[in-house]
Amino acid sequence: MPDNKLIQFHFEEIEEIEFDFKKYREWIIRIIKSEGFIPGFLNIIFTSDIYLQRVNQEFLGKDYYTDVIAFDYSGDHGGEICGDIFISIDRVSENASLVNQSFEEERKRVIAHGVLHLLGYKDSTKDLKDEMTDTENFYLKKYST
C-alpha cells in the first residue's frame, strides 16, 4: 500500500475541517522517514475538548483538557510507526491565540508533537520538553506544508 494511504484523517464530534490532506500526509511521512522509521497505519483524529477529555480520563486516568494524545501501536513492527493521534481543535485554537500563532501553524505543531511521541520522544521533564520543542521547530521549518 502506498505510504500516503496509510495516514488517514478523521473528525469526531466536530465538523470536518478542510485543509490539504495530501500535503499533510507527505509532511508526516517525511518526518517519520527522517527519524529512520517506516510509516505504518496512522490515524489523526480531530475532535473537541470534551471528547479528548473523555479519552484522557478513560485511557490515561487524567481529568483535564489537553491538545494531543498519542497511542502507539507500533510494537515490534520492524521500525514501522502505527498509532492514533487525537487532537483537540478547541485547544489548538485557544493555544494559537495564547502564543499569537495562526490556527494552521499551531495545528501543524500539534500534529508534529503527536508524531514525535509515536517516534519515542517524551515531554515529561523540562529538558525532554525542550528537546521535543526544538525537534518540532526543526520539522516545522524543514518540511513546511
Q: Is residue 2 pLDDT above 70, yes or no?
A: no
What backbone torsions phi and psi does residue 9 show, to the nearest 5 degrees? -110, 135
> Please, what sign has the CA dihedral across residues 132, 41, 44, 62?
negative
Task: Indicate which CATH number applies to the domain containing 107.
Answer: 3.40.390.30
C-alpha cell at 144: 513546511
Q: How many domains does the chain have?
A: 1
Q: Are 135 and 89 in contact (CB under 8 A)?
A: no
Give me the pLDDT at residue 80, please. Answer: 94
| Structural domain range at position 128 | 3-142
Q: Is residue 3 pLDDT above 80, yes or no?
A: no
| Residue among 7, 26, 33 at smallest CA distance from 145 | 26
Taking the model in full, what pTM does it have? 0.93
Q: Are 106 and 136 in contact (CB under 8 A)?
A: no
Q: What is the pLDDT of residues 94-126, one digit of tens each?
A: 999 999 999 999 999 999 999 999 999 999 999
Residue/partner pairs of 89-96 with CB below 8 Å, 24 or more apart: 89/14, 89/17, 89/46, 89/47, 89/48, 90/48, 90/49, 90/65, 91/49, 91/52, 91/65, 91/66, 91/67, 92/67, 95/67
Within 10 angstroms of residue 9's Cβ, the number of other Cβ atoms is 17
CA separation for the pair 100, 102 (Å, rounded): 7
C-alpha cell at 137: 521547530
Q: What is the pLDDT of residues 52-92, one digit of tens each?
A: 999 999 999 999 999 999 999 998 767 899 999 999 999 99
